[in-house]
Amino acid sequence: MKLLVVGSGGREHALAWKLAQSPRVQLVYVAPGNGGTAQDERLANVDITDIHELADFAEREGVALTVVGPEAPLAAGIVNVFRQRGLKVFGPSKEAAQLESSKDFAKAFMKRHNIPTAAYETFSDAAAAHAYVDKNGAPIVIKADGLAAGKGVVVAMSLEEAHQAIDMMLADNKLGDAGARVVIEEFLAGEEASFIVMVDGKHVLALASSQDHKRLQDGDQGPNTGGMGAYSPAPIVTPQLHARVMREIILPTVAGMEKEGIRYTGFLYAGLMIDAQGNPKTLEFNCRMGDPETQPIMARLKGDFSKVVEHAIAGTLNQVELDWDRRTALGVVLAAHNYPETPRKGDRISDIPAEADDSVTFHAGTQMVDGKLVTSGGRVLCVVGLADSVRSAQNVAYETVNRISFDGMQYRNDIGYRAAGRKQ
Ligand code: AMP
Ligand code: GLY
């Protein structure tokens, strides 16, 4: 059978790579794909992004299943369009995707269903927002309501920063419609983890735990990014915490959506903040897999993922049990010059070491130009190493990193430091 993965990042490369391992899969189309998916003979790039044209393509090529990677096509209703045309697709409908596409929707939803999250209020009036911040003090968190490609959240450590963020979003309209409303919420201290599950409308299947590194520089310094590295499993997610997150966050979310007339299908990603006492709160929902979390997660997943997706679309996820490589997978993102501000494109990338049993490199912002691989986006590659401990996985991943180069390459040297410092 032929499958389709929608998107062009490292997440989509990893999903397509995993799906293509199935003996019953002939070819995985990736739309639009990147320089890495272009090079793999089991994958084929398709230069289409319009969701109606993608449906035409899927119909014409007899695509058996489609998996949607990023939030933008989901929020635009790609799943609704595919379903209307009788095409099998895994992802949330436009209505369900509001859990990610509107922070205000997500916060109000969590409040209605008693799902633990930071206290908040929503504003479209700048004066009222400024007054709220003055009343509550810093640190405080300002979030654009809409999708802002990772630029919509300001964790303000001072009142001045908070006021600036409000002006940027509400007065100067720097984020356009996405910032026309803002959620202002309580600052939460603790350690973050990514909790990602698959939902078929009724049943929930948890994927392995993971942790991302959002800041650009070592020691969690510098600006927020889409994610500079991730590893799986995240030892902070103990079996007890796992059970609690399922009971207090994930299951009430799926049930709450159903109660409100929205059947949730697709990946559901709860970004968690876990406080010093081990209590989890929800920072945000994403209606998709994480990037770069997907890369180490897919590197650890065993078995035929196309069958899992088939069950997810059929509503029979309760029949699936996932099998994980017991090793830790750790992914280091190599980013372009001047990422995240205005990443430079067109830098020639050196040869990338071939995939091995303990290492695989997924592409994101890469492109083949005249037979040569060049950078074409902010996050360029994600190098994953697998080994029996976090430290060994770091060694394997960084050994590969050291063999790759391009002008302006930036990466963190400390991916996995929290887990490496924790007793295992
Ligand atoms: P979000 O897109 O809502 O997950 O926010 C992006 C990042 O901002 C998160 O991964 C956290 O690092 C940080 N963040 C968001 N909300 C809060 C909060 N209430 N308290 C502290 N940090 C936060
Ligand atoms: N790695 C964070 C995200 O995908 O939202």
Ligand 2 center–CA 253 separation, angstroms: 19
Mean pLDDT of the chain: 96
Q: Indicate if ligand 1 lies below 6 Å from the C-beta of 146.
A: no
User: CB under 8 Å to 79, separation ≥6 — which residues?
Assistant: 68, 89, 91, 92, 93, 94, 97, 265, 266
302, pLDDT greater than 60: yes
Are 411 and 334 within 8 A, CB to CB?
yes
Per-residue buried b or exposed e for 229-253, using 16+ beta carbons within 10 Å of the residue's own CB: bbbbbbbbbeeebbebbeebbbebb
Q: Indicate if ligand 2 lies below 6 Å from the C-beta of 306.
A: no
Ligand 2 center–CA 262 separation, angstroms: 24
How many angstroms separate the CA atoms of 33 and 55, rounded? 16
Helix or strand or coil: residue 107? helix
Tens digit of pLDDT for each residue in 194-235?
A: 999 999 999 999 999 999 999 999 999 998 899 999 999 999
Closest residue by CA, ligand 1 atom 1: 284
Are 331 and 296 within 8 A, CB to CB?
yes
Q: How confident is the model at residue 315 (pLDDT cuts 50, 70, 90)?
A: very high
Q: How confident is the model at residue 363 (pLDDT cuts 50, 70, 90)?
A: very high
H runs (alpha helix) in 210-250: 239-245
Best CA proximity match to 311, nearest among 303, 320, 302: 320
* Ligand at shortest distance from the CA of 294: 2
Q: Indicate if ligand 1 lies below 6 Å from the C-beta of 140.
A: no
Residue 304 Rama label (left phi>0; alpha psi -120 to 50; beta): beta
Are 331 and 17 within 8 A, CB to CB?
no
Q: Would you kindly state where each structural domain of the chain is located, as residue ranges?
A: 2-93, 125-180
User: What pLDDT does residue 177 have?
Assistant: 83
Q: How confident is the model at residue 423 (pLDDT cuts 50, 70, 90)?
A: low
In the structure, how many helices (H) and strands (E) does the chain have?
15, 24
Q: Indicate if ligand 2 lies below 6 Å from the C-beta of 100.
A: no
Ligand 1 center–CA 143 separation, angstroms: 9
* Ligand at shortest distance from the CA of 290: 2
Q: For the residues of 286-344, what is the DSSP string, one character each?
A: ESS--TTTHHHHHHHEES-HHHHHHHHHHT-GGG---EE-SSEEEEEEEE-TTTTTS--
Q: How confident is the model at residue 171 (pLDDT cuts 50, 70, 90)?
A: confident
Q: Indicate if ligand 2 lies below 6 Å from the C-beta of 367.
A: no
Ligand 1 center–CA 386 separation, angstroms: 28
Q: Which long-range contacts (CB under 8 A, 24 or more apart) does 151-160 make?
A: 151/175, 151/340, 152/103, 152/178, 152/179, 153/224, 155/187, 155/224, 159/133, 159/134
Q: Which atom of ligand 2 is nearest to the CA of 291?
A: 4
Mean pLDDT (whole number) for 59-84: 97
Q: Which atom of ligand 2 is nearest to the CA of 227?
A: 1
| Residues making up the chain, counted from first to last | 424
Mean pLDDT (whole number) for 96-119: 95
172 against 241, higher pLDDT = 241
Ligand 2 center–CA 226 separation, angstroms: 6
Ligand 2 center–CA 7 separation, angstroms: 14
Per-residue buried b or exposed e for 282-297, using 16+ beta carbons within 10 Å of the residue's own CB: bbbbbbbbbbbbbbbb
**Hey, which bits of 130-227 come out as E strands?**
140-144, 153-156, 182-186, 191-200, 204-206, 211-212, 215-217, 221-224
Output Rg (C-alpha) for the chain, integer angstroms: 21
Q: Which of 194, 228, 232, 333 to mutate for ligand 2's pocket (most ligand atoms within 8 Å of CB)?
A: 194
Residue 190 Rama label (left phi>0; alpha psi -120 to 50; beta): left
The matching CATH number, chosen from 3.40.50.20, 3.40.1130.10, 3.90.110.10, 1.10.3720.10, for 2-93 is 3.40.50.20
| Dihedral pair phi/psi, residue 353, rounded to 5° | -55, 145
**How many CB atoms sit inside 10 A of residue 119's CB?**
11
* Ligand at shortest distance from the CA of 274: 1
The matching CATH number, chosen from 3.40.50.300, 3.60.130.10, 3.30.1490.20, 3.30.1330.10, for 125-180 is 3.30.1490.20
150, pLDDT greater than 80: no
Ligand 2 center–CA 227 separation, angstroms: 6
Q: Indicate if ligand 1 lies below 6 Å from the C-beta of 379.
A: no
Angle at 367 between CA 361 and CA 369, to 5 degrees: 130
